[in-house]
């Protein structure tokens, strides 16, 4: 997939290679049927389009998931780790509170020329990180190549007392290399949106300054993923079309011009609702939750990389990335794809 660049277009950044990794352990829906002694499978298949997911091994860390995804993205970009100027890891399940998981990844890749930082926009993180990378690349005297990784290790934070939560979440990592464009293809527009009134509705609330880690905290399971309140189910179905229309107006395109959507992979009903409102055929969305479950901040990037592996992306295709997660944070992006896959 690598495309060696000539004279760069200073005004656009573009994705030149993608990759993803899902851990080896496959956890089918039947695992939860057996665990909870009830039919979990039917709901997951019919309402979420989830059949199975992957969980990391006990000895694996989030940075371990990042490495193979990053290596694939580098290979597909035709670059080595030493060609990378900056690494951005988007995750809310880091190796440590501090230092950054990006610094761990830099060491494991031996990307010795790269600066690093983590970005936490929950499950909107991958799209927000690509947006951030594009601004570094297109700024005056900016970086040439930025490695973006979205990573999720939520299986280590699941509360198995709640089958509705435990059965959704999975682990994985996605990666892409963002570079300066040498033609008119690249990232055209993006939009970040947050409705902070929902900041305490869903998240990992233990271990920070709000609730420092203590034995009591662990015993009460307050450090695990918590859906404290219910975010309105129509949220994605409303905001995804709204953000899409906003960007379409900005780039002077119409909804029918969009070749492919890669959206947060938590709820097939929300994806279909958004597409129906946009009057776009449902097959314009590439979906992976049936095989990989919900991989949070990795999911949009995994969706994009899987579409590339499946040769669904062609040069000049208009692609929309739509991410949403706790906070409530959302990120939307339009780009034209730079090469045939």
Instruction: Report the number of secondary-structure helices (H) and strands (E) in the chain.
Output: 11, 13
pTM of the full structure: 0.93
Alpha-carbon distance of 152 to 265, in angstroms, equals 13
Q: Which CATH architecture has domain 187-336?
A: 3-Layer(aba) Sandwich (3.40)
Q: How much of the chain is helix, strand and coil, in % rounded to 5?
A: 35, 25, 35
Give pLDDT tens digits along the chain (341 positions). Answer: 433 333 445 589 999 999 999 999 999 999 999 999 999 999 999 999 999 999 999 999 999 999 999 999 999 999 999 999 999 999 999 999 999 999 999 999 999 999 999 999 999 999 999 999 999 999 988 899 999 999 999 999 999 999 989 999 999 999 999 999 989 999 999 999 999 998 988 888 888 888 888 888 888 887 888 887 888 878 888 899 999 999 999 999 999 999 999 999 988 999 999 999 999 999 999 999 999 999 999 999 999 999 999 999 999 999 999 999 989 999 999 999 999 98
The CATH number of the structural domain formed by 9-181 is 3.40.47.10
Boundaries of CATH 3.40.47.10 in the chain?
A: 9-181, 187-336
């Amino acid at each position: 997939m690598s495309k060696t660049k000539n004279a760069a277009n200073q005004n656009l950044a573009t994705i030149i290679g993608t990759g993803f990794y899902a851990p080896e352990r496959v956890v089918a829906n039947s695992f939860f049927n057996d665990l909870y002694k009830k039919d979990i499978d039917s709901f997951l298949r019919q309402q979420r389009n989830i059949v199975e997911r992957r969980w990391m091994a006990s000895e694996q860390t989030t940075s371990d998931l990042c490495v193979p995804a990053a290596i694939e993205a580098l290979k597909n970009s035709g670059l080595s780790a030493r060609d990378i100027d900056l690494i951005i890891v988007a995750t809310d399940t880091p190796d440590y509170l501090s230092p950054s998981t990006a610094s761990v990844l830099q060491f494991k890749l031996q990307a010795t020329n790269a600066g690093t930082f983590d970005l936490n926009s929950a499950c909107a993180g991958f799209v927000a990180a690509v947006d951030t990378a594009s601004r570094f690349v297109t700024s005056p005297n900016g970086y040439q190549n930025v490695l973006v990784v979205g990573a999720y290790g939520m299986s280590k934070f699941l509360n198995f007392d709640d089958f509705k939560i435990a059965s959704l979440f999975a682990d994985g990592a996605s990666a892409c290399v963002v570079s300066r464009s040498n033609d008119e293809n690249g990232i055209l527009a993006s939009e970040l949106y947050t409705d902070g009134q929902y900041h305490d509705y869903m998240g990992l609330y233990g271990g920070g300054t709000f609730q420092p880690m203590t034995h009591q905290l662990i015993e009460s399971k307050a450090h695990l993923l918590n859906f404290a309140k219910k975010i309105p189910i129509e949220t994605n179905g409303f905001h995804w079309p709204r953000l899409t229309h906003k960007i379409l107006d900005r780039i002077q395109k119409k909804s029918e011009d969009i070749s492919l959507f890669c959206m947060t992979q938590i709820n097939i009903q929300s994806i279909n609702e958004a597409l129906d409102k946009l009057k776009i055929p449902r097959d314009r969305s590439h979906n992976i939750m049936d095989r990989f479950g919900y991989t949070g901040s990795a999911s949009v990037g995994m969706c994009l990389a899987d579409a590339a592996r499946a040769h669904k992306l062609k040069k000049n295709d208009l692609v929309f990335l739509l991410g949403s997660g706790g906070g409530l944070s959302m990120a939307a992006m339009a780009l034209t794809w730079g090469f045939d896959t």
